[in-house]
A = this chain, B = another copy of it.
Amino acid sequence: MKWKLDDSMPIWIQLAEQIAQRIVSGVYPMGEKLPSVRELAADANVNPNTMQRALSKLDDDGLTETNRTSGRSVTASVEAINAERKKMAEQQMKRYLEGMAQIGFSNAEAKKMIELGEDEE
C-alpha cells in the first residue's frame, strides 16, 4: 500500500488516517512495533516533523502508544481498535449516502439498493 497525499487536507491528517487504516486492517498488527518516525517519514516522503504530528494524533486517539526510548507500537486494546473501525465504517456509510444523494437518491432508496443489489460473491 502506497501513500496517497493530496492538498485537499493537511498532510498530517491524511497520514494519520492512512496509518489508522493500516492498523485497523492489520497491516500493522495489534501490539506490534511501528516503523520509526524517520522511516515512515522517509517512506511517505515527508518531513519527519510532519509524520510525527500524524503519529502523535494516533497516540491521542489511543490507537498507538509510544515508549519514549524504544519506539512506538500499535495499541493492544481491542476496544480502541474497534472504536476506530466503527468510526471509519460510519464515515464510509456517510460518504455513500451523500454520494447517492447527489445523484438524486433518498437515504431510503440508497438503503434499498444495497439490500437488493450486489449479490455476487
A-side residues, CB < 8 A to B, are 4, 6, 8, 21, 24-26, 60, 85, 88-90, 92-97, 99-100, 102-105, 107, 110-111, 113-115, 117-118, 121
Contacts and interface: CB of A to CB of B under 8 A. Distances in A.
B24 A104 contact: yes
A57 to B, nearest CB: 10
Given A26-B104, A89-B105, A102-B21, A114 B117 contact: no
B6 A103 contact: no
17 contacts: A21-B102, A25-B102, A26-B104, A60-B60, A85-B103, A85-B104, A88-B103, A89-B100, A89-B105, A92-B96, A92-B103, A93-B113, A95-B96, A96-B114, A107-B118, A107-B121, A114-B114
A118 to B, nearest CB: 6
Given A95-B95, A114-B115, 15 more contacts: A4-B8, A21-B102, A26-B104, A89-B103, A90-B118, A92-B96, A92-B103, A93-B114, A94-B118, A95-B99, A97-B118, A107-B118, A107-B121, A111-B115, A115-B115
